[in-house]
Amino acid sequence: MATMRAISQRLGWTRAAMGAPLVLLLVLFLVYPVGQLLLLSVHGDNGFTLAQYRQLFASSVYLDVLLITLKISLVTTLVCVVTGYPIAYLISGVGKERKATLLFWVLLSFWTSFLVRAFAWIVLLGRNGVINKLLLWLGIISSPASLLYNFGSVLVGMVNALLPLAVLTMLSVMENIDRNLPRAAATLGARPGMAFWKIYFPLSLPGVAAAGIMVFVTAIGFFIVPALLGGRRETMITQLIIDQVQQTMNWGFAGAISVLLLVVVLIVFAAYDRLLGLSTMTGASAPRNAKPSRLSGPVVRAGDALLTLLGAISDRIILLLSSRRRDRNPDQAGMGLQAFVWTMLLVMSAPTILMIPLSFGNGGLNWPPQGFTLHWYETVLSSPVWTQAMLRSLLVGIGTGLLAMLIGTPAAFLLVRSDISGKAAWLAFILSPIVVPRMIIAVGLFYVFARIGLVGSAVGLVLGHTVVAVPYVVITMMAVLRNYDTRLDQAAQSLGARPLATLRYVTFPILAAGMMSSFLFAFATSFDELTIALFATGGLNATLPKQFWDEVTLQVSPVIAAVSTCLFVFMGLLIFVAERLRRRAAAR
């Protein structure tokens, strides 16, 4: 009895040691700072006050900004989901090699910095940019049109920024849909349209919903795109928070706006949970096990009728369009779909790629590029501001990668391997850095860092970045561990290996690829992070994205094109390496 208790006690301590670092990190650098910020919004000189909120709702200015934010986010979400769906559908269905190619382009956009992509659109849509030049050449317009700083340019930038996220989220669900199901439907008499709308589409809905909420929540906290590509009328709510902190140091009011933003996000999540259940969020849950939605009877029946109608209409259209359909391979995607997907992938990556020749030209950022020079690259490399920013970003990125992995992996072990109670709640807590808008975390951290002297230090940045990167590490490692055959460990132990030796010789070598890819994920998250860096660097000791931001908001110069090109190539290499690792792990 006594030994039993001792063992279970030791087990308890081990578990605590595995989970504590992550919990501590999140409490100290997420819960506390955000809580502080929210408290500041109701804290006046003499105690509790609602003054900030009175100011917030006194005029329609802030509510208007909120409405614009919601409008931009909603339209962005709609466009991303609708255009992302066919892309994910095609990728999930093609053979291995074509899938790798298609996925590379999606991942390349996904990992190319928001800043680089937004900057590329500035260049592309400028008065002397490619688009204007093309329109002039085609004779559609007679003088350069102003394509920038309006709703359209913001929408283009937002969709470009978030489409890869939508595609990847939907893909994770679609890859788990059994392709035999639509085929089975065909043998049962369903025409292609009916098979798609009645069978495939309902099964892909959890992916659509997850993509929708991910894109919407990210969009609502965005500031890079509206700040760079939008005019005054496209100001979004996070930009207001930046103004309050950077220009007036009005913490209370910044807190009040943050509360507003947080409330909106929480309402969205609550609505999502009511309708579909948050468990569908993780996407990875196989649709076969997914509970049917919690929608009530009449809604379901109406939905079913609608799908039947859509199926019938699609089949009518297919019938009208194609008489050649006969000898087509029923499993191959249509030419139309393929053309659409490749066009979208091209549009996604083209701006960044078109910028590359400009960075070697000496004609400024005007299209077409003129001459060849390495001048801009020399400028970057000889400027201590840029080189130091680069070094700092590398340092912080590596620090974040290591810390996130060290803290996240044991927690993932705990969540997968042991039967701790309230797993769902723990998981929700660990994922909360993704849910809470990044801006709120950033401002809260700034406030706390300022008081303990961490502003401008690499340590502060690493801690902040680890908070936002660690959920991805936990998710990745949980997925890896779920696929890991624990019988291998048992085999090692039966062969005489003690627990530590088992870890060292069996577990870790097999998990290495997964750990490496989660390290890279955390590194890339940090390397591209601007929101937290915007404040926590404190004006000096900028990271690369911060330096980029400072420059691009001052002036648009070819130097930035050169930096963008470097970043683009660097990210391309990183994805290539990560993909290689992932495939090597999968091949085992």
Partner 1 sequence: MVSSSLCIRELCKRYGDFVALAPTSLDVAKGEFLTLLGPSGSGKTTLLSLIAGLAQPDEGQILIDDADVTHSPAYDRDIGVVFQNYALFPHMTIEDNIAFPLKMRKVSDAEARRRAGEALETVRLPHVAKRYPRELSGGQQQRIALARCIVYRPAIILMDEPLGALDKKLRDQMQLEIKRIHRELGTTIVYVTHDQEEAMTMSDRICLMNAGAIEQLGTPQDLYFRPRSLFVADFLGESNLLSATVRGVDGEGLDIVLAEQLAASRAVGNGSRFAAGEPIKVMVRPQNLLVGEGGQLSGRLTDVMISGSLTRLYIAPEAAGLPQLVAAHPTRSGSPPYEIGQRLSLGWHAADAVAIHEGKGI
Binding site for partner 1 (CB under 8 A): 178, 180-181, 183-191, 194-195, 198-199, 202-203, 287-290, 292, 325-331
- Cα distances from 477 to residues 259, 406, 460, 471, in angstroms, run 32, 11, 25, 10
| Residue whose CB is less far from partner 1, 203 or 461 | 203
Strand 43-44 and strand 47-48: the pairing is antiparallel
Smallest gap, in angstroms, from Cβ of residue 289 to partner 1?
6
Q: How far is the CB of 297 from partner 1 (least distance, A)?
A: 13
User: Residue 191 or 417: which CB sits closer to partner 1?
Assistant: 191
Minimum distance of partner 1 from residue 320's CB (angstroms): 16
- Whole-number minimum distance, CB 186 to partner 1, in Å? 4
Contact between 235 and 226 (Cβ < 8 Å): yes
Instruction: Kindly tell me which of 287 and 410 has the beta carbon lying closer to partner 1.
Output: 287
Phi then psi dihedrals of residue 44, to 5 deg: -105, -170
CB atoms inside a 10 Å sphere around CB 488: 13
Nearer to partner 1, 315 or 529 (CB): 315
Query: Rounded CA gap, 214 and 473, in Å?
Result: 18
Residues forming a β-bridge with 48: 43
Look at residue 174 and give its three-state secondary structure. helix
* Nearer CB in complex with partner 1: 190/560: 190
CB of 101 to partner 1, least distance (A): 18
Nearest distance in Å: CB 203, partner 1: 6
Q: Which is nearer to partner 1, 192 or 538 (CB)?
A: 192
Nearer to partner 1, 177 or 563 (CB): 177
For partner 1, the closer of residues 292 and 298 by Cβ is 292
Q: How far apart are CA 199 and CA 30, in angstroms?
A: 42
Report in angstroms the alpha-carbon separations of 83 from 94, 210, 211, 306, 315: 18, 15, 12, 21, 21
Nearer to partner 1, 184 or 374 (CB): 184
Place of tokens 């802030």: 62
**Which pair of tokens denotes residue 62?**
């802030």
Cβ atoms of residues 380 and 386 within 8 Å: yes
Within 8 A by CB and 6+ apart from 16, the residues are: none
Task: Tell the smallest beta-carbon distance from residue 583 to partner 1 (Å).
Answer: 22
Smallest distance, Å, CB 190 to partner 1? 5
Going by the DSSP 8-state scheme, the letter that residue 279 receives in this structure is G
The type of residue at 417 is R
Residue 38: enclosing H or E segment and its boundaries? helix 32-40
| 208 contact partners, CB below 8 Å, separation of at least 6 | 81, 85, 170
SS3 363: coil
Taking the complex as a whole, the smallest distance from the CB of residue 271 to partner 1 amounts, in Å, to 22
> Within a 10 A sphere around the Cβ of 326, how many other Cβ atoms?
6
Q: Compute the least distance from the CB of residue 306 to partner 1, in Å.
A: 15
Of 186 and 497, the one with the shorter C-beta distance to partner 1 is 186
Q: Measured from the CB atom, is 174 or 562 closer to partner 1?
A: 174
Smallest gap, in angstroms, from Cβ of residue 467 to partner 1? 37
Nearest to 193 by CA among 323, 315, 85, 326: 315
What's the rounded Cα separation, in Å, for the pair 338 and 215? 24
Biggest CA pair distance of the chain: 90
Q: Which is nearer to partner 1, 194 or 215 (CB)?
A: 194
Cα-based angle 103, 104, 106 (whole degrees, multiple of 5): 65
Residue 327 Cβ vs partner 1, minimum distance, rounded to whole Å? 6
Quote the DSSP letter at residue 453.
T
Q: Which residues pair with 44 in a beta bridge?
A: 47
- Asked if 538 and 456 count as a contact pair (C-beta separation under 8 A), the reply is yes
